[in-house]
A = this chain, B = another copy of it.
C-alpha cells in the first residue's frame, strides 16, 4: 500500500513517483491549495494538492480532516527555496522535499477527535478512555517503541550470555509472606483457586534444581495492592536465576544487561563497574536504601562535634545511644517560608518528634538559627568545618535513634534536591549497588521476625553463627539491590539450597514444620535431590522503561495501564459477570446481596 514510509524521502528521491499511506497530521489551506503533513509511525512528509496536477485530488483534498487515513500517490519535488522564500523545514528529516499529489484516496474518514493530539492533556481519565488516540502522540509512540527496543536488547544480551527464556505458569499458587494475591476460581477443581504470581520465585528456583542452570523470563507479575503512588496491578520484571554463581557473577551480568539496555534505548555508554555501598552506609550517609547519588548533600555524623555538648537534647540523645546528624543543603539559604513549611511537614511525616527541623542558615555572613547561640565556639567551628558550611548554605539537624535520623534526614535531603532542582538533569544516570542487606527485620506489630528480601535468601556466610545464636538483627543476607537515581531498579540474592538451612529459616520466621510442609513442601523436597547453589535477581522493566523515557510514571510506558482503582477505562475492565458464569466456577459475589455479605462476615 506504499512505496516508502513517511520519514524516508530525501532530496535524492526527487523526481521519483512514490506512494505513501498514513494519517493527516495537519492540513492548511494556502491560497486555495491544500498542504498536509502526512504521518505514519516513522515520521511526517508534506504533501501538496495542486489543481493543475490533479483536479480530482485537489477537490478531494479540501475535504480532508485531521486523522483521516489517506493514501497518496505523487512525485517527490524539492520545496521552494529562493533568496526571498524558504519553505524548507530543517526540523524535519523530510523537510527539504514534498510530494506533489497525482492521486488521493481517503481510506478511512475520521470523526472529530475528543481531544487534540498536538497538545498535552491533563485529564488522565480522558487520555485513558481514548488510549488508542493518546498513543498516537509522538511522545507516547516513542515511549512504546523505546520500551520494545530496550526489552529486545535485554533479551539479546541474556540470550548471548547463555540464558534460556523459560515460561512459568500464570495460573499459579498464593505467594506466602507476599502482598495480596489475585485469585482465580477453578471450574475443574471446585472450591479451589489459582493465584496469579507475584513473581516466579519458586518456579525459577525449581528450574535450577532441574539443572537448567541459566534461566530468564520477562515475566508478568501481579499484586493486588492499593494503588497509591505509581503502582500497577500487573507489572513486568526481567527475572533472572543462575546456578553455580556468586554475588559477583550476578552483579557483573546485570551491569552488562543494564548497559546494553541503556545503549539501545538512549545510545549512551553506562560506565561499569557501578559504585557499591553497603545497606548500612546507604542508610547512614543518604538516609535511604536506594540513594540518589546525583547530588551529594551527605548525612554527616556529629557525635565527635558534640561529644562534650551541654545542649540538653543532643546530650540526652548521645548518652542514650542515639545519634546527632546533619545535612548541608549548599546554596539553599534562600529557602522560602513555603518550602520550609513543606520540609517540616515531610520531616514530621518521617518521624520528627517536634514540629520544626533544627537548622542553621548562613546568609551574608550572618548565622540565623535558634541553635547557633547554644553551641560553644569550638562546636561552631567543628560544625562549620565538618559540614563545609559556607555563605548561602543551610544545615538541617536531627537527633534520635540511628534509624529515625536516617529516615528523617533522608527524606529532607531528597525533598531539598527536588526544591533545588538537583535531580532533573536528563543526561545523568547514577547507577549504584547496595549490598549486605539485613536478612531479617523485627516486625513490631506481630512481634515476629520477617524476611527483609524473602525467605529463600541466603544468610551471609560470616553471619551464620549469629543466626545460630539467635542474634537475628545482625545477620546480613547475600542480597543486593541495583539503584538508579534514587529508584530501586531491582534486587536479588543468592538463595538457600540446603533443605536444613531452608527449614531453619522458615522456623525463624515462625513457620512450623507442618506449615512448612503444606506451603513449601515441594521446594523442601526438591532441595533433597541435589539442588545446586544458585541465585538471581529481578529488575522492574516498567520502571527502567520509565527512566529511559524520562517519564515520571510507569503509566507512560505501558500501552494499556490501569488507573489507581485498578480499572481500564477504555475496555471498561473489570466488569460485572452473569451469576450463571460465576456459579460454573463455584463462587458467588458477596457484594450485590447485602444479606449474603453479612452472613459471610459472621
Chain B residues whose C-beta falls within 8 Å of the C-beta of A108 in the assembled complex: 497-498, 527, 530-533
Query: Taking the nearest CB of chain B, how far is it from the CB of A39, in angstroms?
Result: 8
Question: Does A222 lie at the interface of the complex (its beta carbon under 8 Å from any beta carbon of B)?
Answer: yes
Residue of B nearest to A578 (CB): B174
Question: Does A464 lie at the interface of the complex (its beta carbon under 8 Å from any beta carbon of B)?
Answer: no
Please tell me how many copies of the chain the complex holds. Answer: 2
Chain B residues whose C-beta falls within 8 Å of the C-beta of A107 in the assembled complex: 532-533
B145 near A164: Cβ-Cβ < 8 Å: yes
**Interface residue from B23, B166, B224 paired with A211 (Cβ < 8 Å):** B23
Chain B residues whose C-beta falls within 8 Å of the C-beta of A174 in the assembled complex: 575, 577
Question: Does A182 lie at the interface of the complex (its beta carbon under 8 Å from any beta carbon of B)?
Answer: yes
A589 near B592: Cβ-Cβ < 8 Å: no
Query: Taking the nearest CB of chain B, how far is it from the CB of A565, in angstroms?
Result: 5
Question: Does A151 lie at the interface of the complex (its beta carbon under 8 Å from any beta carbon of B)?
Answer: yes
Tell me, in angstroms, the Cα distance from A188 to B41 when the chains sit together.
36
Interface residues on A, range: 35 or more
A531 near B210: Cβ-Cβ < 8 Å: no
**Interface residue from B185, B195, B220 paired with A183 (Cβ < 8 Å):** B185
B532 near A69: Cβ-Cβ < 8 Å: yes
**Interface residue from B530, B583, B585 paired with A69 (Cβ < 8 Å):** B530
Tell me, in angstroms, the Cα distance from A577 to B212 when the chains sit together.
32
The listed residue with most B CB atoms (<10 A of its CB), out of A164, A220, A530, A568, is A530
A132 near B589: Cβ-Cβ < 8 Å: no
Interface readout for A169-181 with B: 1 if CB under 8 Å, 0 if not? 1111110000011
Residue of B nearest to A220 (CB): B170
Residue of B nearest to A244 (CB): B1
B144 near A164: Cβ-Cβ < 8 Å: yes
**Interface residue from B1, B188, B246 paired with A245 (Cβ < 8 Å):** B1
A574 near B189: Cβ-Cβ < 8 Å: yes
B574 near A588: Cβ-Cβ < 8 Å: no
B572 near A169: Cβ-Cβ < 8 Å: no
Chain B residues whose C-beta falls within 8 Å of the C-beta of A373 in the assembled complex: none
**Interface residue from B131, B186, B202, B528 paired with A110 (Cβ < 8 Å):** B528
**Interface residue from B145, B192, B572 paired with A173 (Cβ < 8 Å):** B572
Question: Does A566 lie at the interface of the complex (its beta carbon under 8 Å from any beta carbon of B)?
Answer: yes
Question: Does A155 lie at the interface of the complex (its beta carbon under 8 Å from any beta carbon of B)?
Answer: yes
Tell me, in angstroms, the Cα distance from A19 to B573 when the chains sit together.
56
Tell me, in angstroms, the Cα distance from A134 to B209 when the chains sit together.
11
Interface readout for A202-235 with B: 1 if CB under 8 Å, 0 if not? 1100110111111000001010101100000110
* A-B contacts besides A180-B187, A203-B560, 5 pairs, CB < 8 Å: A21-B532, A40-B213, A132-B210, A145-B164, A184-B184
Chain A interface residues toward B at CB < 8 A: 1-2, 21, 23, 39-41, 67-69, 107-111, 113, 130-136, 141, 144-145, 147-148, 151-152, 155-156, 159, 164-174, 180-196, 202-203, 206-207, 209-214, 220, 222, 224, 226-227, 233-234, 236, 244-246, 497-498, 521-522, 525-533, 558-560, 562, 565-568, 570-577, 579, 581-592, 596-597, 600-601
A-B contact pairs, 18 of them (CB 8 A): A39-B211, A40-B213, A41-B212, A41-B213, A67-B530, A133-B529, A135-B212, A136-B211, A141-B212, A167-B558, A172-B568, A174-B575, A188-B566, A189-B567, A191-B589, A194-B574, A202-B571, A210-B559
